[in-house]
Amino acid sequence: MTASPSLPPAIFLMGPTASGKTALALELVEKLPCEIISVDSALVYKGMDIGTAKPDADMQARAPHRLINLVDPAESYSAATFREDALREMAEITAAGKIPLLVGGTMMYFKFLRDGAADLPQADEPVRAALLAEAEKHGWPWMHEQLAKVDPESAARLKPMDQQRIQRALEVYRVSGKTLTQFWAEQQTEPLPYHVVNFAVCPSERAVLHERIALRFRQMLQQGFLDEVRDLYQRDDLHTGLPSIRAVGYRQAWEYLEGQYDYDTMVERGIIATRQLAKRQITWLRSWPDLHWLETDSPELWTSALKILEANAIFSKSL
């Protein structure tokens, strides 16, 4: 993104799950006039705290996070809604003379914020339920084949087991008669009115990231993650067709509570699903323009970030 020097500053702090985004964000907030806006599709849900690594009360006191705990897990929250909410919060932070610091790993939210949102149809629960029933019967690779018949461009972008995005692309087509590709082609681009500096925090070695993911998943279990999911499981209005329950980790814990597999298998599947999420996030980031990569474990992490911010004239705009 080519930034205009007349625009107010903002920072995008992206990266795969468990890469160390939060630690750097806290340092930025403590040393610069930044305020955090969460960019995480799971943190919006109330009562989903441990499995999302949601900031606790102490962290919230040190560095308040906006756009968390917005909706009940039974409700939906779209990328388009996120864009509206984020722009409002960014404007408030800018008006107060501070820098919006957008932190998270939901790359679709970052993309919608940067580029604008296509005017997609709202979720249709009966259509979604029918699609999930078909997937249960035939499998997601078969669903991917059905998508390829009507929207080959979207199918080419998605893996055969990318359940949520395949389901959404088919849902859009069945509800509207138009493909997701058509909607995006008709989209009116709305440039983000900010001078954005883009960071990605990630270990250079994939094995290091995998170790961090496994460690964090096991720590979540020690902190009571299964009890958290059990509370959700006992509700009558929640099920695996909802985006909240399909969140990484929650889906595997839910299926364990259903008796689909034993505890050790649940742990293994949870870690594998998180690794797959991280891989998708890194793939997104590799195509992100004007991105500054930062090494998670580098002793120069903060210094490197500071130099980049100085080079982009962030300080002269805000201090």
- Count of alpha carbons within 13 angstroms of residue 254, beta-carbon side: 19
Q: What is the mean pLDDT of residues 85-113?
A: 96
**pLDDT value for 259:** 97
Contact 93, 99 (CB under 8 A): yes
Mean pLDDT of the region 114-120: 77
Q: Helix 225-233 and helix 250-257: axis angle, to 10°?
A: 70
pTM attached to this predicted model: 0.81
What whole-number percentage of the chain has pLDDT above 70? 95
**What does each C-alpha distance from 81 to 27, 60, 122, 246, 278 come to in angstroms?**
29, 23, 11, 19, 24
Closest to 100 in 3D by CA, of 110, 92, 109: 92
Taking the C-alpha atoms of residue 15 and residue 13, their distance in angstroms, rounded to an integer, is 7
Q: What pLDDT, on a 0 to 100 scale, did the predictor assign at position 76?
A: 85
Looking at the DSSP bridge assignments, the partners of residue 13 are 103, 199
Distance CA 250, CA 232 (A): 10
| pLDDT tens per residue across span 29-66 | 999 999 999 999 999 999 999 999 999 999 999 999 99
Distance, CA of 147 to CA of 162 (rounded, Å):
12
pLDDT at 318 over 60: no
Decide if pLDDT at 251 tops 50. yes
- CA 65 – CA 58 distance, rounded (Å): 12
pLDDT in tens, 210-235: 999 999 999 999 999 999 999 999 99
Of 60-64, 79-83, 114-118, 304-308, the one with minimum mean pLDDT is 114-118
Domains of the chain in start order, with CATH, are 9-117+192-318 (3.40.50.300), 125-186 (1.10.20.140)
Q: What is the pLDDT of residue 313?
A: 76
User: Measuring CA to CA, which residue among 187, 188, 189, 171 is closest to residue 179?
Assistant: 171
Question: Do 77 and 105 contact (CB within 8 A), yes or no?
Answer: no
**Tens of pLDDT along 252-265?**
999 999 999 999 99
CB 10 within 8 A of CB 318: no
Dist CA 231 CA 63 (whole Å): 28
What are the distances in angstroms from CA 67 to CA 79, 94, 227? 12, 16, 24
